[in-house]
């Protein structure tokens, strides 16, 4: 069996995805006609100068496209089609609170539009993404608006860790948990392990987006293992945003070998020029992951996915079936 065939056959989960950075390229081109095609950021050796440079770039792709409820539906439909074509069965898709408020779009309608865009064979979970740099918007009325949509599945804290610690978001996360919503946060990406420790402790997390900087602290690494904290990692994102010096310096293989529960996702695929399939090929070709390792990463993801137990069991059984194919079909 070729690696590409195995990866396609593998039931997959996309655990870390922003709709603003995943708007289908044809939608972007229709509104942002001055952008070159293909854009320079898709090049393998491209590096953003800073997080601000990255944020300014991504804004060019969503500011003129995500302007209405219908546009969220269209974008989500395109995102979900791409995922379904890759045999992705589960996705956690976040939308930016800040952008929604700037457009005066009702959060409930955004959530509904995204959910309605999902095909029947793809389990889609919707998260409201709250920016670290904008805690001032979290007035009681806004918190209630965030937590009000009955179809919302969770809350995610994103943005530059260096702009704001997690403390201003404690009430939001506590109320979200009280209402049965999932919570996760970006940490251990643009700031070091202490920022990640604080975010886990203060927001009481078992899911962290990125977390790559934990490798700098042995105590934190041990904690991730003993407390079964899941890291939703995005290698291409970390490389292009200079979180790591180069591809060889990315420690994802060390996390996996040490027994940290990790998953792999794309983060912002339209900006980064990658797909989930690309990320899995990268793990094999540049990080020495075996096909069995890839299956383990998907098992990690489905075990923490927000899905009915019976559906989870069915997908895990399917993963076992893929792994049970004759050994001579394996590449390694």
Catalytic residues: 189
Rounded Cα–Cα distance for residues 174 and 183 (Å): 9
Asked if 267 and 21 count as a contact pair (C-beta separation under 8 A), the reply is: yes
Largest Cα–Cα separation, the chain: 60
H helices, E strands: number in the chain: 16, 8
Edge-to-edge strand list for the sheet holding 88-96: 12-18, 88-96, 123-131, 154-158, 182-187, 207-210, 230-233, 262-264
DSSP assigned state of 80 = H
Asked if 23 and 57 count as a contact pair (C-beta separation under 8 A), the reply is: no
Crossing angle between the packed helical segments 291-304 and 309-323, to the nearest 10 degrees? 180
């Amino acid at each position: 069996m070729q690696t590409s065939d195995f990866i396609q056959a593998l039931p997959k989960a996309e655990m870390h995805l922003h709709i603003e950075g995943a708007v289908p390229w044809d939608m972007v081109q229709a509104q942002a006609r001055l952008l070159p095609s293909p854009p320079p950021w898709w090049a393998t050796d491209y590096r953003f100068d800073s997080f601000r440079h990255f944020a300014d770039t991504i804004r060019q792709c969503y500011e003129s496209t995500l302007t209405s409820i219908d546009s969220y539906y269209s974008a989500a439909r395109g995102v979900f089609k791409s995922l379904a074509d890759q045999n992705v069965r589960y996705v956690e898709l976040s939308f930016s609170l800040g952008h929604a408020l700037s457009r005066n779009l009702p959060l409930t309608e955004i959530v509904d539009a995204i959910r309605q865009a999902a095909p029947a064979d793809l389990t889609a979970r919707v998260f409201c993404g709250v920016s670290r740099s904008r805690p001032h918007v979290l007035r009681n009325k806004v918190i209630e608006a965030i937590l009000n949509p009955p179809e919302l599945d969770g809350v995610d804290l994103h943005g530059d860790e260096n702009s704001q610690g997690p403390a201003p978001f404690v009430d939001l996360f506590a109320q979200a948990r009280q209402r049965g919503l999932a919570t996760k946060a970006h940490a251990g990406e643009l700031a070091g392990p202490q920022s990640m420790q604080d975010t886990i402790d203060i927001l009481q997390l078992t899911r962290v987006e990125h977390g790559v900087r934990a490798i700098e602290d042995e105590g934190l690494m041990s904690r991730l293992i003993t407390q079964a904290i899941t890291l939703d990692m995005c290698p291409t994102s970390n490389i292009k945003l200079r979180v790591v010096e180069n591809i060889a310096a990315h420690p994802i293989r060390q996390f996996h070998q040490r027994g940290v529960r990790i998953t792999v996702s794309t983060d912002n695929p339209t900006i980064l020029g990658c797909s989930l399939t690309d990320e899995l090929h990268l793990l094999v070709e540049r990080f020495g992951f075996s096909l069995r390792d890839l299956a383990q990463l998907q098992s990690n993801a489905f075990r923490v996915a927000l899905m009915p137990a019976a559906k989870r069991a069915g997908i895990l059984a399917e993963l076992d079936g893929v792994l049970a194919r004759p050994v001579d079909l394996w590449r390694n």
